[in-house]
Structure formats: C-alpha cells, structure tokens
Amino acid sequence: MSIKHAAFGAVVAATLGLAAPAQATSQEEINATLQADPQIWRDLFSLAVADEIRKNCETIEARTLRATGFVLGLYNEARSRGYSRQEIRAFQTADSTETRMRAEVMAYFAEHGVREGAPDTYCALGLSEIAAGSQAGELLRAR
C-alpha cells in the first residue's frame, strides 16, 4: 500500500469518525479488524441471511439490482477504509470469517424458528424480513 493511499484512507477514516485500518500488517489483523467493525459485519450478516433465505425458499428471490448495489456499497466502504481488493477478498473467504458468519446466521435462524430442511420456515422468515423492511428483507422479493 502506498503512503499516499494510506494517508488518504486515514483522512477518510478521520472524516467519517472511523478507525483507520491501514495500520494492520497481517491478513489475520485485517480480518480481525473487519470482523470487529459493526457496520461491515452487520451488512455482511444481512447479506448472508438474505442469501440463505433465497437459496432455501423457492417463492422468494433476490432483488438482484438492489443486492448488487448493496454489495458494491459494502465493498466500497471497505476500500474507503484503506483495504485492497486482495485483502477484502481474503477476508471474505477466510475460514474464521465463514465459520463465525455461519454460526451467527444459524443462531439467528434458530431464534426465528427456521429449521434446516424445512423450506416453509425459511419462507416464513423471508416474508417477515420483507414485511419488516429489514436490511435482509430489502434484498429479497416474494414471487
């Protein structure tokens, strides 16, 4: 990362009142920093919830353009904090990220009555998320 790029990231972070992650030197530190960021993690969680609902309920589909815009916004947020494409991709695919996200999504589903192998429970949660206008619900549409 160039000094100019790191300085720009620090200015953006300071302007937005965010911690500047450019200090992280290893991918593990970067992953920990991104996992600890409430906005980044909340957005990824919403995306994961919506994706699982979409994959397990035949009557609910992704709002493709909205979801694409959401993903790009999330990516741009991480980039504005000084992370490279490679660092973001490595964070997304890290075992620690996937394991934690899976556990949190499954806990959320269990809390809301979703049962693996029972598509109607995914559909019920999906319809509830859509009706509530939640972040996950905004990424979905009932057919």
How far is it, in rounded angstroms, from Cα 87 to Cα 17? 22
Q: 111 exposed, middle or buried (CB, 10 Å; 0-12, 13-18, 19+)?
A: exposed
Could you state, in order of their start, the residue ranges of all structural domains in the chain? 3-142
How far is it, in rounded angstroms, from Cα 91 to Cα 74? 13
pLDDT of residue 78: 94
Q: How confident is the model at residue 80 (pLDDT cuts 50, 70, 90)?
A: very high
**Please, what sign has the CA dihedral across residues 116, 36, 22, 95?**
negative
pLDDT tens digits, residue range 30-69? 999 999 999 999 999 999 999 999 999 999 999 999 999 9
How many Cα atoms sit within 13 Å of 127 on the Cβ side?
10
Is pTM beyond 0.85? Reply is no
